[in-house]
């Protein structure tokens, strides 16, 4: 029997092959998420304008002004609760839909990931302690997070994450799920045209979606990637090797690594910040300062900060903090780059923040000659902040 076509996600050697029933289930979840985002979600604004805001103003003697006001106004609103329950359920359904083919093929996936042929390296350290901000909660409702091992030499949660990201983003991260990395590179080359990194570090790499583009962008550079989760690193190494990328993966905590001082010219992360605590991100920034060579750059990719959004939009973006097992989401969206740079030993005058148009959206626009709008990644753009040493 021929393998089932996985739409436009690139089929590399580690990607699980679904049965027709499993693929139908995944397509249903993807369609449900699109329907919730494009149709059902819009009713929340109607509920706010037509009912909740008026109720708030009557009770408080003023209209809702901040995202916290909007939350108080919408708390208990039946339409918002209806949408919110569906949104949470779709997230749980997504994970279940990708777990099924992974569980069925796990032995084969482990064997494929363990091969010796190909470039790059993998260094695991069982003494690395997974921080409490990961063990205390299944981040974004992913069962077991990035770190849980269900069997020897496990790669299950790496395989689950790879396919789930594609479904979650509804394909808008590109065939390799690499849009944040691709977009970050475009920003770096535009903002720091003279930067020619010899060594690059990706912190919190997971399965390496955004890591691999750095090998293409700077082919002479040595690319390293770290994470605390052994299952995602085994999968990342097997995936990168099957695609021909010489990345050096190692199990390390970004708060304190084993690399020498001044070892890197470029340090990046892609949606790492919202999965670390306020204390941890400051430790990570201090470690980045130690690891950067003079003139080096640290860059973090995220979704927009609340201060850049209208109160209602900030409230909706903050949904994940309370409903999607993202306890650090809210605080991460209130970071001020210059302030955190000063707190961690950098020159605050060299801190920066910027929006960069999605590389995937730009490529689609060029390919189709049609404007590609959308909400994912902040309306077709990613938000980045960082500092130069």
pLDDT in tens, 127-159: 999 999 999 999 999 999 999 999 999 999 999
Q: How far is CA 309 from CA 63, 116, 182, 314, 334, in A?
A: 17, 48, 24, 6, 11
How far is Cα 341 from Cα 5, in angstroms, rounded to an integer? Answer: 46
Cβ–Cβ < 8 Å for 158, 236: yes
Cβ–Cβ < 8 Å for 141, 91: yes
Each residue's pLDDT tens digit, 257-313: 999 999 999 999 999 999 999 999 999 999 999 999 999 999 999 999 999 999 999
Residue 365: predicted pLDDT: 73
How far is Cα 319 from Cα 325, in angstroms, rounded to an integer? Answer: 10
Residue 369: predicted pLDDT: 55
Cβ–Cβ < 8 Å for 228, 198: no
Residue 191: predicted pLDDT: 97
How far is Cα 49 from Cα 201, in angstroms, rounded to an integer? Answer: 46
Confidence class for position 40, pLDDT limits 50, 70, 90: very high
Each residue's pLDDT tens digit, 155-172: 999 999 999 999 999 999
> Residue range 186-197: average pLDDT?
97
Q: Exposed e or buried b for every residue in 104-116, given b needs 16+ CB within 10 A?
A: ebbeebbebbeee
Both tokens assigned to 332: 């991460």
Q: Residue 29's closest CA among 80, 79, 87?
A: 87
% of residues, the chain, pLDDT over 70: 95
pLDDT of 367 above 90: no
- The domains of the chain, with CATH numbers, are 164-388 (3.40.50.150)
Each residue's pLDDT tens digit, 57-89: 999 999 999 999 999 999 999 999 999 999 999
Total-model pTM: 0.94
């Amino acid at each position: 029997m021929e393998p089932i076509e996985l739409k436009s996600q690139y089929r590399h050697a580690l990607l699980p092959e679904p049965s027709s029933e499993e693929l139908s289930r995944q397509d249903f979840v993807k369609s449900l998420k699109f329907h919730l985002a494009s149709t059902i979600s819009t009713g929340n604004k109607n509920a706010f304008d037509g009912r909740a805001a008026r109720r708030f103003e009557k009770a408080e003697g003023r209209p809702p002004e901040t995202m916290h006001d909007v939350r108080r106004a919408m708390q208990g609103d039946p339409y918002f609760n209806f949408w919110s329950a569906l949104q949470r359920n779709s997230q749980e359904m997504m994970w279940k839909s990708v777990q099924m083919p992974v569980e069925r093929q796990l032995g084969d996936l482990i064997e494929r990931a363990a091969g010796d042929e190909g470039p790059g390296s993998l260094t695991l350290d069982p003494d690395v302690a997974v921080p409490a901000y990961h063990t205390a909660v299944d981040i974004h409702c992913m069962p077991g997070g990035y770190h849980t091992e269900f069997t020897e030499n496990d790669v299950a949660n790496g395989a689950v994450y790879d396919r789930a990201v594609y479904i979650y983003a509804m394909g808008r991260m590109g065939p390799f799920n690499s849009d944040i990395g691709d977009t970050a590179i475009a920003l770096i080359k535009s903002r720091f045209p003279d930067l020619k990194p010899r060594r690059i570090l990706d912190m919190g790499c997971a399965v390496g979606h955004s890591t691999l583009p750095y090998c293409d962008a700077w082919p002479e550079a040595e690319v390293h990637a770290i994470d605390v989760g052994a299952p995602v690193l085994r999968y990342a190494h097997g995936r990168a090797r099957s695609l021909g990328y010489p990345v050096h993966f190692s199990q390390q905590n970004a708060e304190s690594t084993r690399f020498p001082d001044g070892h890197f010219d470029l340090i990046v992360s892609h949606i790492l910040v919202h999965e670390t605590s306020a204390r941890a991100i400051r430790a990570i920034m201090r470690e980045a300062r130690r690891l950067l060579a003079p003139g080096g750059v640290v860059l973090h990719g995220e979704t927009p900060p609340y201060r850049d959004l209208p109160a209602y939009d900030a409230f909706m973006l903050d949904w994940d903090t309370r409903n999607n097992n993202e306890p650090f989401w809210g605080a991460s969206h209130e970071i001020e780059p210059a302030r955190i740079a000063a707190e961690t030993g950098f020159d605050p005058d060299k801190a920066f923040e910027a929006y960069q148009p999605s590389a995937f959206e730009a490529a689609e626009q060029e390919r189709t000659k049609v404007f590609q709008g959308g909400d994912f990644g902040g309306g077709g753009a990613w938000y980045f902040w960082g500092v130069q040493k």
